[in-house]
Structure 1
């Protein structure tokens, strides 16, 4: 058997940065870049806006908000069971692949034992089609009919069985709102349909209770999917990658048969530990010696969660510092393509908290990067402070 080419950690790093538009910022608009990235983790509303700022050459956060209002982009529970910001089309593509995981959660959930899951789901969907609700409010409403069950379990039943999306103003730039959900088919229209259904509590094409906006893309509830296309799209944004990497990103196991089915259209490598890696033939794989500019990565930046083996971007020791015990993922900065520390923005000051000394040239570049980010996002020029290194 022909030996597979070996890709070093640095080679994998440069490939990942290229796929993530972090070697060179994209000159495309928000929608093409968000499509290529296959979504951004978004359980906190603002980090995706900062993640896009790092990846786009020119950028206005309000462009993202307009796409959400126009229903071209949604906020919904998808990969790893977390809220992501992704295009409506990608939501429909990936959501069906997660249903088996959600179904298993219900099977082992004793809080819903004996519950008529179909009836609860239908009742919950009908309520959400009338008006968007938070999980707390939905659970309380359903408990009036099923008083013997915990409201949280009733709401979870609906969210796990019925594709849902968050509605504005939640997730809009500079605005706030409750994490209220409606059905995807009500917000986007049925799969294969031409225009979205009427907005719950509002007007067609607009925000709940708001003004009309452009019609959203066709389709909606995630009734159809293409697992092989999900694999291709993942590799385009995160490859080369192993089956375990794919499964870690998606939050679902037993994906090896899907990869095997399209193996002939992929190229195969190995990492330095001998793990088999798959990739698209024409995807960029820069030379490992290509310089990597410094970058400021957002809280919950998806680049840190795209693989089972994340050492191509962050060491295991660093990860224990960045990933907190209460589920937070801190904002980080890179030097030479790899995580070098944490950064934070407080009251107009960007503070860098490095894990190792920052070379003078990199410190100057990080200062420029921080000034750019705050100017774009806040319209002001920040003070920049470098703390003493705190080794991991």
Structure 2
């Protein structure tokens, strides 16, 4: 390692990332602007983005995001890591072709054998035509495709269309206070425009570094699902700042990426299921130093998640509804009286978003 390269401690990386994720201090600003700055929000759980934005924006109103979605200025679509993300319409158009190879690879790895000998191009063309005219759930798509090609695996064909065709999950799915099936329609038909033909991979890497850096090549690849990004980073390197972590790995950063003192205070923050903060680095110790498994059970994104204490993933939360409602926080170890008070206060604010402020908060240790 070059002796002149600055070594960043784990806590310095932690604070830099929290600052860029807007988790050290809530700030005001347009919802769409923050979604773009973070290069989208994990949205596998349909309501997860609402909790993610509440944790980051001062005075966040769920109606603001719902309005963006119903006006088709924001959409839920499969992007980074071939998982569902909430992005602005503009980012949907900018990013889809860049990360499409991830979906292609994922489909062929998961369903290629089931469709050996099938004309996948014909299946995708037929399915794309269907989805360009109206939304289809995957189950309905499976039924129609199975009738068309009864000798081929209907489930695999439905996944071929959903993986290989650029689609969005249409509203009311993901709209606050509403319910709806995961129905798919093509990007072109929903947004009225086609994805950008020749988007910039360099720009995508720079945006990742601005939102999640300083970071390694392996980190960028983990976040995006793409491979062979070393050549991209090498091309960008003359314009980047270069650091190292405590293990000697090179980290890269945009020139104006903020670095903070390791002792900068970090408030308690509640995150939703699958929040990108916890999933977007190959080395996740900057926010998860103990390597604890992040719980990934199904849910709606406003019922459970994780908790940051002093910047680290240190607790889980779950909102229990029904006859005996509560918001339960389970810490991974003992916490100080001050931390417990902060947890209870932040949990009370969260209940203002997802439930009733009268709901009791219960804090226990695992």
TM-score surpassing 0.5?
A: yes
Question: Which of 156, 178, 181 is the matching residue for 2:181?
Answer: 178
Partner of residue 365, structure 1: 342
Please, which runs of 5 or more residues in structure 2 have no aligned partner?
Answer: none
Q: Does residue 1:119 correspond to 2:96, yes or no?
A: no
- Normalising by structure 2, we get a TM-score of 0.93
Question: Structure 2 matches for 1:257-336, cutoff 5 A?
Answer: 257-319=231-293, 322-323=294-295, 331-336=305-310
Partner of residue 205, structure 1: none
Question: Structure 2 matches for 1:67-216, cutoff 5 A?
Answer: 67-108=68-109, 109-191=112-194
Is this contact kept in 1: 2:349–2:357, CA < 8 A? no
Q: Does residue 1:51 correspond to 2:52, yes or no?
A: yes
Shift of 1:117: 2.4
Question: Which of 346, 352, 376 is the matching residue for 2:353?
Answer: 376
SS at structure 2 position matched to 1:144: helix
Partner of residue 344, structure 1: 318
Shift of 1:7: 0.4
Per-residue CA deviations over 1:161-219 (Å, capped at 9, x if unaligned) read 2100000111111111110000001111233xxxxxxxxxxxxxxxxxxxxxxxxxxxx
SS at structure 2 position matched to 1:290: coil
Question: Which of 239, 254, 257 is the matching residue for 2:228?
Answer: 254
Shift of 1:327: 7.5
Is this contact kept in 2: 1:59–1:376, CA < 8 A? no
Per-residue CA deviations over 1:14-71 (Å, capped at 9, x if unaligned) read 0010011100112112111111111111111111111111011111111111111111
Judged with a 3 Å threshold, the aligned counterparts in structure 2 of structure 1 residues 152 and 224 are, in CA distance, closer, same or farther, namely farther
Is this contact kept in 1: 2:172–2:180, CA < 8 A? yes
Moved more, 44-53 or 108-117: 108-117
Judged with a 3 Å threshold, the aligned counterparts in structure 2 of structure 1 residues 157 and 85 are, in CA distance, closer, same or farther, namely same
Partner of residue 216, structure 1: none
Number of residue pairs matched by the alignment: 357
Is this contact kept in 1: 2:82–2:106, CA < 8 A? no
Tell me how far apart the structure 2 counterparts of residues 102 and 363 of structure 1 sit (CA, whole Å).
Answer: 42
SS at structure 2 position matched to 1:339: strand
Judged with a 3 Å threshold, the aligned counterparts in structure 2 of structure 1 residues 149 and 222 are, in CA distance, closer, same or farther, namely farther
- Normalising by structure 1, we get a TM-score of 0.87
Per-residue CA deviations over 1:114-154 (Å, capped at 9, x if unaligned) read 22222222211111122100112112112222111111111
Tell me how far apart the structure 1 counterparts of residues 59 and 285 of structure 2 sit (CA, whole Å).
Answer: 30
Is this contact kept in 1: 2:12–2:260, CA < 8 A? yes
Please, which runs of 5 or more residues in structure 1 have no aligned partner?
Answer: 192-220
RCO comparison, higher one (Cα < 8 Å, 6+): 2
Partner of residue 204, structure 1: none
Partner of residue 25, structure 1: 26
Shift of 1:97: 2.1
Is this contact kept in 2: 1:106–1:112, CA < 8 A? no
Judged with a 3 Å threshold, the aligned counterparts in structure 2 of structure 1 residues 374 and 106 are, in CA distance, closer, same or farther, namely closer
Moved more, 259-268 or 86-95: 86-95
Question: Which of 215, 220, 230 is the matching residue for 2:204?
Answer: 230
Shift of 1:332: 1.3
Q: Does residue 1:11 correspond to 2:4, yes or no?
A: no
Per-residue CA deviations over 1:215-255 (Å, capped at 9, x if unaligned) read xxxxxx35442101110111111000000001111112111
Shift of 1:316: 4.1
Tell me how far apart the structure 1 counterparts of residues 62 and 27 of structure 2 sit (CA, whole Å).
Answer: 15
Shift of 1:368: 1.3
Shift of 1:357: 1.1
Tell me how far apart the structure 2 counterparts of residues 25 and 261 of structure 1 sit (CA, whole Å).
Answer: 35
Moved more, 151-160 or 247-256: 151-160
